[in-house]
Structure 1
Amino acid sequence: MLIFLLRRLIQACVVMAIISLISFAIQDKLGDPVQQMVGMSVSVEERNALREELGLNDSLLTQYGRFLQNALQGDLGTSYYYKEPVLDVIFDKVPATLELAFCAILLVVLIATPLGVLAAINPKHWVSRILMVITSIGLSIPIFIVAILMMYLFSIEWNLAPSFGRGQTTEVFGLWHSGLFNQDGLSHLLLPSLSLAIALMPIFTRLIRAEMMEVLQSEYIRFAWSKGLSSNRIYFIHALKNTMLPIITIGGIQAGTLVAYTILTETIFQWPGMGFLFMDAVSRVDTPLISAYLIVVGGMFVVTNTIVDLIYGLVNPTVRLASHGL
């Protein structure tokens, strides 16, 4: 386990170094930040002075060296628009995005798991066939179409839930603000989290069905039936447990992808999270904020994948993490 963690740490450092290089390299392709920071009446001399002050006239190698040195000290720069350290700006939005992602994943687990098990137990039943058709359609529909449709139906037509904003939040232990602990916050969370969940449910439902159908044909399941174990115990303990390894693999990847999905969802629902902040930073050419966002999201991917590998050992002790070479 120690060897595995050491390997993962080295890989994480390499991956983060590559991400930092890419995120810094694209800054020069996003436009002139000085033009976004000052008005049309500002003279060319003042613009050049501001560029010199920001270090934009230095060579890219010099700028990257300065950026990397500061990053190792926890300083990814200062936002051109907010005039604050970019990490402070991003971390202020992280709770909203994590809250949204958590609720979406919770809905996926609570809905996709029983649907996948049901479809695996009775694959030829008409309900299972209809479910497979629905999931096929769901895989083909882009998430922004789902979000717009949800907004139109639940907010405009039926007036059941708010269509934008985070609503009222409650301070939790003096550390962050959450909308999970009051009715107004939950009502605002309903549509964006449900939109994200609908985008992920089809793949998880079909994956659970396929894996469980394979497990149900194995010898040890037949032996469990011959011992006279109850169907619930066979389906939900013996069979479902042994389908979790590939589910965790896909789940870890999708959990990271969920951060990318939130960009569209948060923009449509005006949810004040990291995705909405990123789109705002792009429109303002706030390059330090854009670079920091890419690095933070890359770090989330690395951490998520490491956690997934560690969970392998908990679900299936026969997995030898140290021998993976990952």
Structure 2
Amino acid sequence: MFAFVIRRIIQSLFVILVIGFIGFAIKHQIGDPVRDLVGISVSKAERDALREQLGLNDPFMSQYVRFMKNAVHGDLGMSFFYKKPTLEVIVKKAPATLELVFVSSLIIIFLSIPAGVYAAIRPRSWLTRFIMGASIVGVSIPVFLTAILLIYVFSVELGWLPSYGRGATVSLWGWETGLLTIDGWKHLILPSIALSSIMLPLFIRLIRSEMMEVLQSEYVKYAWAKGLAPRRVYFVHAFKNTLLPVITVGGVQLGILIAYTILTETVFQWQGMGFMFLEAVERSDTTLLVAYMMVVGVVFVAVNTMVDIIYGLVNPTVRIAGRK
């Protein structure tokens, strides 16, 4: 198991190096840092001196190595617009995005598991047909259209929930959270539902298909033959083995869910990392764009590495296959 973990960590470090190389290449090719730092009145000689001082005349690989060394120490450059370190800007925006992803993940978990299991156990019931039909519709509708529809129904027509913003927040050990205020929860409901609509149909169909396959296996038939209670057969013998592929897909989709917050945060004017990313695009803040890509890439790699390790603990055959 130790060798398996070490291999996964080495692979993750290699992926992070590749992400850093792509990010630095984008930063190197797009925009001119000297032009963004100084005004138009600065002479060419002063620009050349500043370029030399910043090391922009060094070879590409030398600049890349310097960039990665700084990144290891948490220095991803200065934002041209905010005039602050990019990591500081991202950390300030991160709580809004993480809370949105957290609540959306809870919605996905607590709705997809009972719906998927029921659809597998009762495949011909009218409720199963409704669930599967709704999941097809959910997959087909883009998230921004779902968000606009929710705003129209619950904010414009009914007036039950706010349509934009994050609401009131409180500081908890430096973490600005809206989970401890009623107004924060009111503002969080619609964005969370809109964001969860991306992955919820996928997980319902995945759990249903895996559960139906497991229910046809020999050990489940043997459990029925032993006369075990239906609840024990479904949730101990069948559902437990359904979770293996769900854990794998869930780890990958969690990173994708963070990326999808860009559309959701834009519609709801949610002041998170996704909204910050679009603002950085509009302002041509290349340093902040690259820092965002690095942070999201590292989070994505870390989550997938943890999922691989958990999967290896649950299913020993993965470690054996990896060794071969």
Q: Please say whether Structure 1 and Structure 2 have the same fold, judged by a TM-score greater than 0.5.
A: yes
The whole-number CA distance in structure 1 between the counterparts of 2:210 and 2:125 is: 18
Residue of structure 1 aligned with 2:42, choices 40, 45, 51: 45
The change in CA–CA distance for 1:52 and 1:73 in structure 2 (over 3 A counts) is farther
The whole-number CA distance in structure 2 between the counterparts of 1:179 and 1:238 is: 40
Write the mapping of 1:167-186 to structure 2, written as runs, cut at 5 A: 167-172=167-172, 174-186=173-185
The change in CA–CA distance for 1:46 and 1:102 in structure 2 (over 3 A counts) is farther
Other-structure match for 2:100? 100
**Amino acid in structure 2 at the alignment position of 1:84:** K
The whole-number CA distance in structure 1 between the counterparts of 2:44 and 2:323 is: 51
How many angstroms does 1:58 deviate by?
2.4
Other-structure match for 1:27? 27
How many angstroms does 1:48 deviate by?
7.4
Q: Deviations over 1:129-170 (max 9, x none)?
A: 222122112111111111111122111111111111111112
Other-structure match for 1:76? 76
Other-structure match for 2:18? 18
Deviation larger for 247-256 or 142-151: 142-151
| Cα pair 1:267 1:276 within 8 Å, conserved | yes
Other-structure match for 2:270? 271
Give yes or no for the alignment of 1:117 onto 2:117: yes
Write the mapping of 1:49-68 to structure 2, written as runs, cut at 5 A: 49=46, 53=50, 55=54, 57-58=56-57, 61=60, 62-68=62-68
Give yes or no for the alignment of 1:240 onto 2:217: no
The whole-number CA distance in structure 1 between the counterparts of 2:91 and 2:312 is: 31
| Cα pair 1:100 1:189 within 8 Å, conserved | yes
Other-structure match for 1:251? 250
The change in CA–CA distance for 1:126 and 1:49 in structure 2 (over 3 A counts) is farther
The whole-number CA distance in structure 2 between the counterparts of 1:99 and 1:47 is: 47
| Cα pair 2:280 2:286 within 8 Å, conserved | yes
How many angstroms does 1:29 deviate by?
4.7
How many angstroms does 1:318 deviate by?
3.6
How many angstroms does 1:209 deviate by?
0.5
- Please state whether the residue corresponding to 1:171 is helix, strand or coil: strand
**Amino acid in structure 2 at the alignment position of 1:45:** V
The change in CA–CA distance for 1:262 and 1:48 in structure 2 (over 3 A counts) is farther
Deviation larger for 52-61 or 99-108: 52-61
Identical-pair percentage: 49
The whole-number CA distance in structure 2 between the counterparts of 1:49 and 1:152 is: 55
How many angstroms does 1:57 deviate by?
5.0
The whole-number CA distance in structure 2 between the counterparts of 1:129 and 1:308 is: 32
Q: Deviations over 1:251-278 (max 9, x none)?
A: 0110010111001111111111111111
The change in CA–CA distance for 1:151 and 1:29 in structure 2 (over 3 A counts) is farther
Q: Deviations over 1:198-246 (max 9, x none)?
A: 1111100000000000111112212222222222222122211110001
The whole-number CA distance in structure 2 between the counterparts of 1:129 and 1:279 is: 39
The change in CA–CA distance for 1:264 and 1:87 in structure 2 (over 3 A counts) is same
How many angstroms does 1:63 deviate by?
3.4
The change in CA–CA distance for 1:154 and 1:46 in structure 2 (over 3 A counts) is farther
Other-structure match for 2:153? 153
**Amino acid in structure 1 at the alignment position of 2:130:** I
The change in CA–CA distance for 1:86 and 1:52 in structure 2 (over 3 A counts) is farther
| Cα pair 1:32 1:285 within 8 Å, conserved | no
Deviation larger for 198-207 or 7-16: 7-16
- Please state whether the residue corresponding to 1:229 is helix, strand or coil: coil
Give yes or no for the alignment of 1:280 onto 2:273: no
| Cα pair 2:9 2:305 within 8 Å, conserved | no
| Cα pair 2:104 2:195 within 8 Å, conserved | yes
| Cα pair 2:5 2:309 within 8 Å, conserved | no
The change in CA–CA distance for 1:52 and 1:85 in structure 2 (over 3 A counts) is farther
Structure 1 runs not aligned, ≥5 long? none
TM-score normalized by structure 2? 0.91
Cα RMSD, aligned residues only: 2.2
The change in CA–CA distance for 1:286 and 1:325 in structure 2 (over 3 A counts) is farther
**Amino acid in structure 2 at the alignment position of 1:12:** S
- Please state whether the residue corresponding to 2:42 is helix, strand or coil: helix
The whole-number CA distance in structure 2 between the counterparts of 1:48 and 1:193 is: 53
Q: What is the number of residues matched between the two proteins?
A: 321
The change in CA–CA distance for 1:137 and 1:10 in structure 2 (over 3 A counts) is same
**Amino acid in structure 1 at the alignment position of 2:322:** H
The change in CA–CA distance for 1:156 and 1:101 in structure 2 (over 3 A counts) is same
Other-structure match for 2:6? 6
